[in-house]
C-alpha cells in the first residue's frame, strides 16, 4: 500500500490462477497505463498550442467534455474540470467561442487543494484572458480552501459544492424496501476507492462500475475478488462477461434503501456525488478523513469519521446501524442545508446574468437538471456545433 493506504494493483486483483496469468495481467496494466498517459498528455496540451484556423485547428475536437447550457442569451455554460491540468477542457471549448461573450461555471470533479495544480490553473487563466477577453470564468468550489487557493492564483471563485446538483426527487427513502445489508458502498473500480476497508463488514452490498482505470482483465479480476469475500457480500450491478454493468439511478436508490449505512472510503477525490445520494435517501454515513468536500453536508449526529482501517470502519457502521436514526430526519436536515446554498447560488447567477446584460427577472427556480442530464458528455466539436446554433443574432453578425 502507498501513503494514502491505496492498494497496489496486485493487492486489488487478489490471487489469480497461475503465475502466467499474473504476468499477463501486469503486462496488460502497463500497456493500459502507457496508453492513458499518452492520451492525457495530448489532451492537456493540444488546446493551448493549436492554431485557431486551418487543418490543425480541430486536432483537439475529439476531447470528451460535458457542457450544460444554463443560459442561451447571455451565454452561460456549466462544465466539470479535473485532472492534472484542469483548464484544458475549458480551453478546448472556449477557444471555439472566442468571438462571443460567455461565462463558464467550472465544477471541480477532483479536489483542487493541490498547490502545483492551482499554480498551473493560474498560468492557464492568464493565457485564456488574453485569448478570450470576453469570457468570464468562475470556479464553483467544493470547499472554502479551494475557493481561497483559486482566488490567490488570480481566479474568480465562490464556494458552491457540486453536491447541490443531486436530485432529491430521484434519491429518497422508500418505506416499502426492507433493509438487508449493514452498509452499501458506491465506488468505481479504482485503487483510490479503497474497497478493502469495507471487507470486515458483515453484510455489505457494492455498487461498482469501471471507467477504465484498470484494464478489462484487471477489472474482471477485481470483480472476482469482491465476489469471493463473503457469502453475505453482494455486488448489486448485473455481471456481464465478468464485468459490472450500470444501474439506473432509480435502481441505485433502491439498493441504498436496502442498506443501513452509506460508505465513503477514499482519501481524496471530488465532493463525491454518492455521499449526497446517501443522505438524500436517508442513510447515515461512515467516512474516512478526506479531501474534496464530501463532508460539507455531514452532521456528527449521523455521519462518523473513522480511521482507514477495516476494523474501525466495521465498528462505525455497527454504531450507526444500531442508532436506527429515522431516514426522513436525515433527509430533512440535509435538504435544509442544500436549499439554503441553492438559494445563494441562484442569487449569484441572477446577478451574473444582469451583469452580462440580461433583463430577465431574478431566478426563482433551481436552473439545473438532475446530474444524469447535467453531465452530457460529447466531443468538443459536437458541443461547439450545437452552441453555434444557439448564437443570438448579434453574435452571428
Residue 101 has pLDDT above 90, yes or no: yes
Q: Is 311 exposed, middle or buried (0-12, 13-18, 19+ CB in 10 A)?
A: exposed
Check pLDDT > 90 for residue 29: no
**Domain check: are 286 and 156 in the same one?**
no
| Residue 277 and residue 297 in one domain | yes
Residue 382 in domain = yes
Q: What gap in Å lies between CA 179 and CA 176, rounded to an integer?
A: 10
Same domain, 306 and 342: no
Band (pLDDT 50/70/90 cuts) for residue 37 is low
Same domain, 189 and 321: yes
**What average pLDDT does this structure show over 256-284?**
97
Looking at the chain, the whole-number percentage of residues with pLDDT higher than 90 is 81
Confidence of residue 43 (pLDDT cuts 50, 70, 90): confident
Is the pLDDT at 261 greater than 80? The verdict is yes
Q: Is residue 3 part of a domain?
A: no
CA distances 394 to 73, 101, 281, Å, are 10, 10, 46
Per-residue cell: 165 = 446538483
What pLDDT digit, counting tens, does each position of 296-348 carry? 999 999 999 999 999 999 999 999 999 999 999 999 999 999 999 999 999 99
Q: What residues contact residue 190 under an 8 Å CB cut-off, 6+ apart?
A: 211, 213, 214
> Could you tell me how many residues make up the chain?
397
State the pLDDT at residue 17: 65
Q: Is 216 in the same domain as 300?
A: yes
Determine the structural domain holding residue 190 and report its residue range.
181-334
**Residue 286 is assigned to a structural domain of this protein:** yes
pLDDT score for 395 = 58
Q: In what order do the strands lie in the sheet with 68-71?
A: 68-71, 75-81, 102-108, 135-141, 156-159
Residue whose grid cell is 443501513: 260
One domain for residues 341 and 329: no
Residue where a domain terminates, one of 295, 311, 334: 334
Cα-to-chain-centroid distance, residue 175: 28
C-beta neighbour count of 389 within 10 angstroms: 7
Which residue did the predictor score with more confidence, 393 or 100?
100
2 belongs to a structural domain: no
2: exposed, middle or buried (Cβ count in 10 Å: 0-12, 13-18, 19+):
exposed
Is the pLDDT at 369 greater than 70, yes or no?
yes
Question: Tens digits of per-residue pLDDT, 140-194?
Answer: 999 999 999 999 999 999 999 999 999 999 999 999 999 999 999 999 999 999 9
Domain end marker among 304, 334, 364: 334
Report the pLDDT averaged over residues 117-146.
97
Residue 31 lies in a domain: no
28 found inside a domain: no
Tell me: pLDDT of 26 over 80: no
**Given 309, 334, 359, which residue is the final one in a domain?**
334
Asked if residue 35 has pLDDT above 70, the reply is: no
Cα dihedral 26, 210, 3, 234, rounded to 10, equals -100
Do 199 and 293 sit in the same domain of this protein? Answer: yes
Same domain, residue pair 209 and 341: no
| Mean pLDDT value across the chain | 93
Residue 385: its H or E element: helix 380-389
156 and 84 in a common domain? yes
Say if residues 258 and 283 touch (Cβ distance below 8 Å): no
Residue 21 belongs to a domain: no
How many domains are there within the chain? Answer: 2
SS3 262: strand
Read off the pLDDT of residues 192-210 as tens digits, 9 standing for 90 and up: 999 999 999 999 999 999 9
In the sheet where 181-186 sits, what is the strand order?
233-235, 204-207, 181-186, 259-264, 285-287, 303-305
Do 84 and 201 belong to one domain?
no
Place of cell 455486488: 235
**Secondary structure tally for the chain: helices H, strands E:** 13, 15
Residues 355 and 258 in one domain: no
* pLDDT, position 28: 73
Residues 62/70, Cβ–Cβ less than 8 Å: no
Residue 221 lies in a domain: yes
CATH number for the domain that contains residue 121: 3.40.525
What is the CATH classification number for the domain harbouring 192?
3.40.50.2000
Q: Are residues 193 and 330 in the same domain?
A: yes
Amino acid at each position: 500500500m502507498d501513503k494514502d493506504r491505496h492498494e497496489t494493483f496486485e493487492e486489488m486483483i487478489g490471487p489469480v490462477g497461475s503465475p502466467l496469468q499474473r504476468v499477463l495481467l501486469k503486462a496488460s496494466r502497463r500497456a493500459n497505463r502507457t496508453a492513458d498517459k499518452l492520451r492525457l498528455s495530448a489532451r492537456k496540451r493540444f488546446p493551448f498550442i493549436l492554431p485557431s484556423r486551418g487543418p490543425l485547428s480541430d486536432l483537439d475536437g475529439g476531447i470528451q467534455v460535458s457542457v450544460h447550457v444554463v443560459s442561451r442569451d447571455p451565454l452561460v455554460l456549466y462544465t466539470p474540470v479535473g485532472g492534472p491540468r484542469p483548464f484544458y477542457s475549458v480551453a478546448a471549448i472556449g477557444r471555439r467561442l472566442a468571438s462571443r461573450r460567455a461565462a463558464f461555471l467550472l465544477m471541480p470533479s477532483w479536489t483542487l487543494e493541490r498547490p502545483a495544480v492551482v499554480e498551473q490553473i493560474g498560468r492557464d487563466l492568464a493565457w485564456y484572458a488574453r485569448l478570450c477577453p470576453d469570457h468570464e470564468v468562475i470556479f464553483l468550489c467544493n470547499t472554502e480552501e479551494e475557493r481561497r487557493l483559486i482566488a490567490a492564483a488570480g481566479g474568480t471563485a465562490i464556494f458552491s459544492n457540486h453536491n447541490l446538483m443531486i436530485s432529491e426527487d430521484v434519491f429518497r427513502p422508500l418505506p416499502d424496501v426492507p433493509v438487508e445489508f449493514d452498509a452499501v458502498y458506491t465506488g468505481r473500480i479504482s485503487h483510490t476507492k479503497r474497497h478493502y476497508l469495507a471487507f470486515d463488514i458483515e453484510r455489505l452490498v457494492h455498487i461498482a462500475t469501471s471507467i477504465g482505470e484498470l484494464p478489462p482483465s484487471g477489472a474482471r479480476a477485481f470483480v472476482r475478488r469482491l465476489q469471493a469475500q463473503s457469502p453475505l457480500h453482494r455486488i448489486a450491478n448485473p455481471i456481464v462477461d465478468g464485468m459490472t454493468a450500470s444501474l439506473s439511478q432509480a435502481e441505485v436508490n433502491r439498493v441504498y434503501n436496502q442498506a443501513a449505512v452509506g460508505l465513503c472510503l477514499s482519501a481524496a477525490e471530488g465532493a463525491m456525488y454518492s455521499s449526497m445520494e446517501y443522505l438524500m435517501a436517508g442513510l447515515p454515513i461512515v467516512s474516512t478523513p478526506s479531501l474534496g468536500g464530501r463532508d460539507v453536508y455531514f452532521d456528527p449526529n449521523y455521519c462518523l469519521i473513522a480511521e482507514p482501517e477495516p476494523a474501525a470502519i466495521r465498528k462505525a457502521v455497527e454504531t450507526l446501524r444500531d442508532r436506527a436514526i429515522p431516514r426522513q430526519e436525515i433527509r430533512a436536515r440535509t435538504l435544509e442545508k442544500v436549499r439554503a446554498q441553492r438559494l445563494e447560488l441562484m442569487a449569484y447567477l441572477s446577478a451574473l446574468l444582469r451583469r452580462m446584460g440580461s433583463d430577465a427577472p431574478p431566478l426563482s427556480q433551481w436552473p439545473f437538471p438532475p446530474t444524469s442530464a447535467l453531465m452530457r458528455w460529447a466531443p468538443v466539436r459536437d458541443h461547439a456545433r450545437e452552441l453555434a446554433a444557439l448564437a443570438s443574432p448579434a453574435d452571428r453578425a
